[in-house]
Amino acid sequence: MYGRGSSDNKGNITNRLFAIDSLLTALADLPCTIKFLIEGEEEISSENLEAFVEGNVNLNRADACIWEFGGVDHRERPTQYLRLCGICYIELEVETASMDVHSGLGGSIIPNAAWRLICALNSLKVPNEKIQLPGFYDKVKLPSEQDRDDMCELPDMA
C-alpha cells in the first residue's frame, strides 16, 4: 500500500479489517465483539477525543482494550507491539520583566527568561532519564515474572 498515512493510520486500519475478514471466513462468526475507536486528530493532540469518550461511556464499554503498533524491522521481519501509547505535553511560560531590558541598563541583574526556562526544563528529567513530575509513575505497572520470562523468549533483535 502506498500513500499518505499508509504506514501510520490507513494501512494499519485496513490490515485490521482484513484480519477480521479472514477470521470471519475461517470461523463464520467472531468469538467476541470487536470495536474500533478511530480518530484523526492525533497530530493536533486529539482535541475532541476526551469529550467523545466521556459522552459515549456505554458505547465505548469493553472487557479489554488493545493499543498496538507494528511494522517491519530492518531484516524484513514483521513486528508487533502492545501498549505503546502516551504523550505528555507541558507548556511553560516565563516572564521576568514587564519590558525588554538592555544589558547595560540592568539586563545583567534582572533574571533572564530564557535561562529560567532552561532551568525549568532541566528539572523535568534527570540524567538517568527518570521523569521528575509528581505522580508520573503512579499508574505504571512493572513487568511480572511471567512478562520477564516471555520477553526472554523473544528473538534477538540485533
Helix (H) or strand (E) holding 70: strand 68-72
C-alpha cell at 38: 478511530
Give Cα separations from 143 to 65, 81, 85, 86, 128 (angstroms). 18, 15, 16, 18, 20
Backbone angles phi, psi at 140, to 5 degrees: -75, 125
Residue 6's pLDDT is 60
pLDDT-based confidence at residue 87 (cuts at 50, 70, 90)? low
C-alpha cell at 26: 475461517
- Rounded to two decimals, the pTM is 0.49
pLDDT-based confidence at residue 46 (cuts at 50, 70, 90)? confident
Give dist(CA 79, CA 73) in Å, integer. 7
Mean pLDDT of 36-57: 87
Point out which residues pair with 102 in neighbouring strands. Answer: none
pLDDT-based confidence at residue 2 (cuts at 50, 70, 90)? low
Q: By the 8 A CB rule, do 28 and 53 touch?
A: no
